[in-house]
Amino acid sequence: MNDNSQKSPEAPDPLDALLRESEAHLPDDGFTARVLTSLPPRRRFDSFRLAAFAAAWVAGVVILLRHTPAVGTAVTSFLQHALHGEVTPLLALAPVVMVIGMLVWALASWALEEWV
């Protein structure tokens, strides 16, 4: 490990001292104001988006709970195939898992966009 990174608090840091002595405001000739005025307005809170996101999650949980025995049987069957080294039945599940993952990702990114 680098011994220089663990300086004692008593030793003054020359860069810190230089920054503290410098002028607090740097003139930018209105650059910051121009950038801030050119930014698009922030989105307002969208209650429909939140309701759609919550409804989708509730629907997913209800569907999963309704089909729990079928899901359990399918997972057990796939695990048995995997333990015996049979890859072909597992490959049939890959597109389903990918589509579910993409849907969850898309729904989450849509629902979690920045709000004001």
pLDDT digits (tens, 9 = 90+) for 4-54: 555 556 777 888 877 777 666 777 888 989 999 999 887 777 788 778 888
Cα three-residue angle 71-73-75, rounded to 5 degrees: 65
pLDDT digits (tens, 9 = 90+) for 54-80: 888 888 878 877 777 777 777 788 778
First and final C-alpha spacing in the chain: 44
pLDDT, position 9? 61
pLDDT digits (tens, 9 = 90+) for 80-94: 887 888 777 777 777
Query: pLDDT tier at 96 (50, 70, 90 boundaries)?
Result: confident
pLDDT, position 7? 54
pLDDT, position 35? 92
